[in-house]
Amino acid sequence: MRARIEAAHAVRGDREQQSSRELATAAALGCLERAGCPPDRVDLITYSGILRDDHVQEPASAPFLQQAIGANPAPGEGYPRGTFSFDLSEFLSALEVAAGFVVSGRAQRALVVTADGRVAGEPSSGIAPAAGALLLAPDPERGFGSFRSRNYPQWSDRLRRRAFWDGNRHVLRTETRDDWLERCVEATLELAREFFSEHGPPSESVLVIPSQSPRGFPAAIEKQLALPCVTAAVRGPEDLYSAGPITAMVEAPERFRQADQILFATVAPGLISTLAFYDKRPDSAF
């Protein structure tokens, strides 16, 4: 059994919509609408993202999202199975956990939501407000098969984020070294080459969906791996972060449809490189 993508949806923020919760709710509801799945039939919700409203990390954001979309917010009411929701730090980590629930039979529908917002009145962090959502369902043949992740602590100082109270509000600061992009590419190439050595070479119709940040990462991966990558359109000086892979995927539906293998490749501070391999039917939406 595998976990297949049943639907996907992405939302970019604008001047009126910059709240991480609002963006996450819009992405989740749009995804469920595309799948024709009522919110109260979702067994599991995971939420991930860096920039949350007012930089609040606790309490978790997933239960607020669960309530906002109407996914069995009250215990003992509605869908007998209920809905379990929780937060995780990174998109592919959340996706791996959600896929595990689906493959094991503990969840029939799992909603994976990731979002970044923009805190009102705060200078830009360089991360664009955006959200994405995937709905997973069981499939006996196609879907997510293998995940692989590795931490590179020797490069943990290449990007650091810290939140602090400046006397009036919480502020997030990011410090990036000049070789951050180079180290991200190096880590991903090492992990990808090990993966293909173990599982065999990719098909001729493989498509890579990478992190959209740091800027230039998709192009560098495409060049070094000699595999086609999807790059989301850049709108302004800010980069897509948590929702970058889903946004790139949703905004290139024909390229995704034509592929029969998908390699998701993300990088995160730490430095953490993660891969997820997805088998799909040729010429199918997912």
Residue 89 pLDDT? 86
- Domain locations in the chain as residue ranges: 2-141, 147-279
pLDDT tops 90 at residue 267: yes
Tell me, yes or no, if the two domains 2-141 and 147-279 fold the same way.
yes
Pick from 5, 84, 78: nearest CA to 40 = 78
The whole-number average pLDDT for the span 73-77 is 64
Segment 52-66 shows an average pLDDT of 76
Question: What are the pLDDT digits (tens) for 118-140?
Answer: 876 666 678 889 999 999 999 99
Provide the residue type at 215 as one letter.
Answer: R
Residue 75 above 70 pLDDT? no
2-141: CATH topology = Peroxisomal Thiolase; Chain A, domain 1 (3.40.47)
Task: Report the predicted TM-score, pTM, of the whole model to 2 decimal places.
Answer: 0.92
Does 271 sit behind a cis peptide bond, omega within 30 degrees of 0 on the bond before it? yes
CATH number of this structure's domain 147-279, picked from the four choices 3.50.50.60, 3.40.50.1980, 1.10.150.120, 3.40.47.10: 3.40.47.10
Contact 65, 83 (CB under 8 A): no
Give the least confident one: 23-27, 37-41, 80-84, 89-93.
Answer: 80-84
CA distance 231 to 251: 9
**For the chain, percent of residues with pLDDT exceeding 90:** 66
By the 8 A CB rule, do 52 and 28 touch?
no
